[in-house]
A and B are shown apart, each in its own frame.
Chain A
């Protein structure tokens, strides 16, 4: 077993590449699910913050793995075992490049962003978190970046502190700075809010935390599909994201951690693959990253995620960001023209996610009317109930874009919202 060494020149080469042309019609052809009609209408999928659709390249990579290379990894002497191991570790290397991490040993495959956070809570958070210690999160976290810390704090008699936000869903940096104290063990914050779409000033937050010796975990579940991510540039200590929101399969996610931190952390789960020598008296653990990957991993999931990353790199992440930001501005303006529509979140720092309410019509009813127009959005609390409480609403409707969405689809959305308003008067 050998993890490939990093190639420092790759990211530099990528930056020098000529900007790719973004052809949304061609991109749409890559996603077979988009060709269908629902209720006789062309499908308009705007629930990408919940899960994104999958390009054929990802579907093929998974199918090919099972039809040609399926075997367990890291243990077989046979040809298929070698092929599967190579494909699995190659996927890790692709993710390393994708995050611009320095070393593939820092890439741990987990089930989801949620599991990544739980791993850090259990393995890192538990070390040295004593009574009176504090974990600092923000007011706009997804439940997955609240509950693991709550459980941990309860167990340890530690305290969960929350950075407040203003009415526009922007974090109050002054308050953040005040909440960073000698008792703070870790900051855990979303890079991009799933409920509001706020892009948080994470570089500044990391800088402020590091100045006080506090490590930072970023929840990148929403950011990774939309923005180029550079964990070394950000200097974050941990970064998590989910494969299925990034055009990859469900059941696979990534935890990036700085090697020095991961080395010092105890294993999260025990089992096969994460060990070196086991006797009934004592077990010595495997090296990174396998120390944190107990049991047979989600091999096809990792390979599918690798294919998703390849797909995004092929199109060009800067090209994707440019296209999406144009589309998103267009969507913001289109929704702003819908009478009685209240758009939540930051006017300047919003990306990817449009959270709104339409007059007094319940988001569920809005969702049902849109569904019959072939438009899939999310209606509810978006696994962020404290955000709903802060906004003073029980739920919102949420449209979230992906690289395959078009301006025509946004026009259909706006029309359907006007129609919903007519139905409910």
Chain B
């Protein structure tokens, strides 16, 4: 597979065109805005947090295929997870997109998110893949000012 096809895998294209969990979440009690000032990508995450557990989450915004698919797949991966699990998954995800995954087990642990493995060949796009994750952490931390990738 060419690096380009590796980056834009079917699953990523699908989620970028038909993002899941897209739209407002009126019952959310956490919100955060993420912004990539370099390309203008903007994302808003709405999270319904009960205790330490993410009961529901949805997102809104406009961005490139990578950032949109990353946000969409994030919402699928984190529903029902607690904060520690979310942070652990982000740590693994970051290793994946920066090309630092140590083992096949680590890759498997990422589940569907492993589809972002091609991003590490495109250093300029790592920020696109991680924008939603940074925004999520901000929402959990109740940081309401806009998060930027810079």
Contact = CB atoms under 8 A, between A and B. Distances in A.
Contacts of B2: 372
A395 interface: yes
Given A381-B40, A388-B40, A362 B64 contact: yes
Interface string A365-377: 1001100100000
Interface string B22-48: 000000000000000011111000000
A368 B4 contact: yes
B90 interface: no
A361 B125 CA distance: 15
A394 B3 contact: no
A363 interface: yes
A406 B68 CA distance: 36
A365 B65 contact: yes
Contacts of B17: 425
B8 A363 contact: no
Nearest to B61: A394
Given A368-B7, A372-B3, A372-B4, A424 B65 contact: yes
Interface residues of A, number: 18
B40 A380 contact: yes
Contact of A424 (B13, B41, B128): B13
Chain A at the B interface: SS class: helix
A369 B65 CA distance: 12
B109 interface: no
**Which of A363, A368, A372 has the largest count of B CB atoms less than 10 A from its CB?**
A368
B62 interface: yes
A365 B64 contact: yes
Contacts of B63: 362, 394
Interface string A387-425: 010000011000000000000000000000000000111
Contacts of A424: 8, 13, 65
A131 to B, nearest CB: 32
B13 to A, nearest CB: 7
Q: Which of A365, A380, A381 has the most chain B CB atoms closer than 10 A to its own CB?
A: A365
B64 A364 contact: yes
A379 interface: yes
Contacts of B124: 368
A395 B8 contact: no
B9 to A, nearest CB: 11
B107 to A, nearest CB: 23
A362 B36 CA distance: 14
Contacts of B13: 423-425
Contacts of B122: 368
Nearest to A381: B40
B125 A394 contact: no
B57 interface: no
A164 B72 CA distance: 38
B10 to A, nearest CB: 10
A146 B120 CA distance: 36
Contacts of A364: 39, 41, 64, 66, 125, 128
Contacts of B42: 394
Contacts of B40: 380-381, 385, 388, 394-395
A362 B3 contact: no
Contacts of B8: 365, 423-424
Given A372-B2, A379-B39, 6 more contacts: A365-B66, A368-B124, A368-B125, A385-B40, A394-B39, A394-B63
- The list of the 6 closest CB pairs from A to B, nearest first, reads A362-B64, A364-B64, A394-B40, A395-B40, A365-B65, A372-B4
Interface of A: 361-365, 368-369, 372, 379-381, 385, 388, 394-395, 423-425
Interface of B: 2-4, 7-8, 13, 17, 38-42, 62-66, 68, 122, 124-125, 128
14 contacts: A362-B39, A362-B64, A363-B64, A364-B128, A368-B7, A380-B38, A381-B39, A381-B40, A388-B40, A394-B41, A423-B8, A424-B8, A424-B65, A425-B17
